[in-house]
Amino acid sequence: MKQNKKLGQCFLKDKNIVKKAVDAANVNKNDIVLEIGLGKGILTKELAKNAKKVYVIELDKRLEPFAEEVIAEHPNVDVIWNDALKVNLNELNFNKIVANLPYQISSPITFKFLKTDFEVAVLMYQYEFAKRMVAKEGTKEYGRLSVSVQYNANVEFICKVPPSAFSPKPKVDSAIVRITKKEPNELFHLEDEEFFEKVVRALFQHKNKTAKKALINSSHEIGLNRDELKDILNNLSEFDLNERVFKLNIKKIVELSNLIYKLTHKK
Ligand code: SAM
């Protein structure tokens, strides 16, 4: 079978990396695990050995012989033949996610995961993407992805993975990341989640500018006209709008979004 690059088919061959991913999620016999991308089943088998049940979503039907082999050995595996972006994940009753992701869907699948109710996710990404996910304010990798993921989850960098761990070898390095949903007492209070997402988008379109300039330049993103927004910002004395966007931590961005929301959505 010729592996399909468009489907991100770089299969893991390094068993130590497989073990590292499963250990990082602390998979045990109480867990129902979701995996994206069966490949030849190297990760699925290790998950099945340790978990109560494994759901694996795979798009490429040519991999059916590998699915049969995995299920014969591990009847607690259920393969769902579909595009992971189209499956209603809330219908699957999993508590952990472990996957060597097809990198072309990294971003949409991560945001889809974040809307589900999981405890922990251990995921393999392209190294550069992983660095953006875990980045803190003040660094060059800090951006919209970092804020959107970290505002409701804690993200840890587990390890860098070289191309030699895969077959065929990808052209770039990879990395394993662990995402843990924040506890209720760690969560920020958001006046409006959709509005917050718009503010984050507007700010990070100009991450090296001051918060004030960035927002005014992207006022359309938050559905306000330039002059209206200028007036609002001129009256926000409680917030330092001269700070550059990439230096604003998540708490400050939440605060800013809430302040603007309250001023523009007065009843
Ligand atoms: N888990 C295997 C491993 O570690 O060797 C395979 C990982 S490989 C990076 C990604 C897998 O995801 C491939 O088997 C590919 O066919 C599958 N895939 C790609 N796009 C997909 C999608 N949208 N939905 C479900 N599976 C997909």
Ligand 1: which of 5, 10, 11 to mutate, most ligand atoms within 8 Å of CB? 11
Nearest CA to ligand 1 atom 12: 37
Confidence of residue 265 (pLDDT cuts 50, 70, 90): confident
Tell me which residue of 231, 229, 170 sits closest to 203, measured CA to CA.
Answer: 229
Report CA(127)–ligand 1 centroid distance (Å): 17
Distance CA 54, CA 132 (A): 29
Single-letter code of the amino acid located at 217: N
Concatenating the DSSP letter of every residue in 183-246 gives: PGGGPPP-S-HHHHHHHHHHHHTTTTSBHHHHHHHTGGGGT--HHHHHHHHHT-TTS-TTSBGG
**What share of the chain has pLDDT > 90, as a percent?**
91
Within the chain, all domains assigned CATH 1.10.8.100 are found at 193-264
Confidence band for 267, pLDDT divided at 50, 70 and 90:
low
**Atom number of ligand 1 nearest to Cα 7:** 19
Pocket lining: 106 vs ligand 1, CB cutoff 6 Å: no
pLDDT (average), residues 34-60? 98
| pLDDT at residue 180, rounded to an integer | 97
Whole-number pLDDT of residue 6: 86
pLDDT digits (tens, 9 = 90+) for 245-255: 999 999 999 99
What are the Cα distances from residue 182, in Å, to 62, 117, 147, 179?
39, 11, 14, 9
pLDDT beyond 80 at 64: yes
Ligand 1 geometric centre to CA of 3 (Å): 11
More confident residue, 48 or 4: 48
If we measure between CA atoms, which residue out of 118, 102, 90, 107 comes closest to residue 25?
A: 118
Non-local CB neighbours of 193 within 8 Å, separated by 6+ positions: none
pLDDT at 62 over 80: yes
What's the pLDDT band for 5 if we cut at 50, 70, 90? Answer: confident
Q: What does the pLDDT average to over 206-226? A: 95
- For ligand 1, what atom is nearest to the CA of residue 166? 5
Report the pLDDT value the prediction gives residue 236, as an integer from 0 to 100.
87
Give the CATH number of domain 193-264.
Answer: 1.10.8.100
**CATH number of the domain located at residue range(s) 8-185 in this protein:** 3.40.50.150
CB 77 less than 6 A from any atom of ligand 1:
no
Contact 199, 253 (CB under 8 A): yes
Q: Answer yes or no: is the C-beta of 102 below 6 A from any ligand 1 atom.
A: yes
Query: 0.85 cut: is pTM over it?
Result: yes
pLDDT in tens, 125-172: 999 999 999 999 999 999 999 999 999 999 999 999 999 999 999 999
- Residue 212, pLDDT > 90, answer yes
**Distance between first and last Cα of the chain:** 62
Verify whether ligand 1 is closer than 6 Å to residue 60 (CB atom).
Answer: yes
Residues whose CB is less than 8 angstroms from the CB of residue 11 and which lie 6 or more positions away in sequence, other chains included: 3, 39, 40, 42, 166, 167
Q: Where in the chain is the domain with CATH 3.40.50.150?
A: 8-185
The answer, yes or no, to whether residue 108 has pLDDT greater than 70, is: yes
Query: Over 80: is that where the pLDDT of 242 sits?
Result: yes
Q: Look at ligand 1, atom 21, and give the residue with the nearest C-alpha.
A: 59
**What pLDDT score was predicted for residue 8?**
85
- In the reported structure, the alpha carbon of residue 201 is separated from the centroid of ligand 1 by a whole-number distance in angstroms of 29
Calculate how far, in angstroms, residue 8's C-alpha sits from the geometric centre of ligand 1. Answer: 6
Model confidence band, residue 84 (pLDDT cutoffs 50, 70, 90): very high
